[in-house]
Amino acid sequence: MIFGIHPVREALSVAPSAVEVIYCLPTFGRKKAQKALLNLARSRGARVEEVRDFHGLSITSGTVHQGIAAIVQPVWEISQDQLLSDLQALLSRGIATEFPVLVMVDSLTDPQNLGAIIRSSVAFGAYAVVVPSRKSAPVTGAVVKASAGIIFSARVCRIHSILTIMDRFHEMGILIAGLDGRATEPIYSMDFTGPVAVVVGAEDRGIRKSVARQCAVLASIPLAPQVDSLNASAALAIALYEVKRQRVSGL
């Protein structure tokens, strides 16, 4: 179940076949943007149903739904086997401009941060976002809304063990770089021009020690003395910008 104007519009624009049904309140459609969205839904052949309220639609109280919701298929999901197969095919070509950038999240529990991370990942051209199936925020309507619906243009891979897939990435020649505020090396001193996976940790304690040990490098983001840290999504966005900057400018 997703909700909000931006997520529903992105679903209809990017993956209309994934939209099973759209629900809207009786007042929805009076404003210009709302009317345009309903017209888009009809042009995509989506089924639209009017409901008196959203109480029976698994939308929690206090949710900012903007009068519209939809049931969609999670077309952003990609299996671990498929991800590894696709990466192997990509890497075997050995074309520098195709070197993948991956994002890995460790113990991230805030849906707002996860949604923002997915949005930044798409914005900076990350190939996929890897999320553990345990001790991590699930992809819910809140995550979709926090991504402003950009998740429909993303690949999200749920994995059982982040340590196991890190081993596989090492074997494939992918540099694993962990973001750690305690690291002595600043992020701009790293070489991210090859295949790379950027790991971002939990909001309160960063990446776990076991995950940090599996990283090939640990990088920090230099901050003003009065600022202890950035939240996970902000740190990840800065890291992805640095990766993109290096690839465009050649370090």
Give residue-wise pLDDT tens across range 67-114: 999 999 999 999 999 999 999 999 999 998 899 999 999 989 999 999
d(CA 66, CA 119): 20
Where in the chain are all domains bearing CATH 3.40.1280.10? 80-249
pLDDT at 204 over 80: no
d(CA 179, CA 217): 9
Alpha-carbon distance values, 95 to 98, 128, 193 (Å):
5, 18, 12
Residues 103, 214, 237, CA angle at the centre, nearest 5°? 25
pLDDT confidence bin for 134, thresholds 50/70/90: confident
Whether the full predicted model's pTM is greater than 0.85, yes or no, is yes
The pLDDT of residue 63 is 80
d(CA 201, CA 219): 13
Q: Are the C-beta atoms of residues 1 and 58 closer than 8 Å to each other?
A: yes
d(CA 132, CA 110): 14
Phi, psi of 73 (to 5 degrees): -80, 140
pLDDT at 58 over 80: no
pLDDT confidence bin for 205, thresholds 50/70/90: confident
The pLDDT of residue 251 is 62
The CATH class of 2-72 is alpha beta
> Which ranges in the chain belong to alpha helices (H)?
5-14, 32-43, 80-92, 111-123, 141-146, 162-171, 209-214, 232-249
For 55-64, 143-152, 171-180, 241-250, which range has the lowest pLDDT when averaged over its residues? 55-64
d(CA 212, CA 218): 7
Q: By CB neighbour count within 10 A (0-12 exposed, 13-18 middle, 19+ buried), where does 92 fall?
A: exposed
Where in the chain are all domains bearing CATH 3.30.1330.30? 2-72
The pLDDT of residue 194 is 96
From the candidate CATH numbers 3.40.1280.10, 1.10.10.10, 1.10.3720.10, 2.40.100.10, the one assigned to the domain spanning 80-249 = 3.40.1280.10
For 32-36, 135-139, 147-151, which range has the lowest pLDDT when averaged over its residues? 135-139
pLDDT at 126 over 90: yes
For 40-44, 62-66, 117-121, 197-201, which range has the lowest pLDDT when averaged over its residues? 62-66
* Sheet order of strands, 156-159 included: 156-159, 128-132, 101-105, 196-200, 175-179, 217-219
- Pairing relationship of beta strands 175-179 and 217-219 according to DSSP bridges: parallel
pLDDT confidence bin for 250, thresholds 50/70/90: low
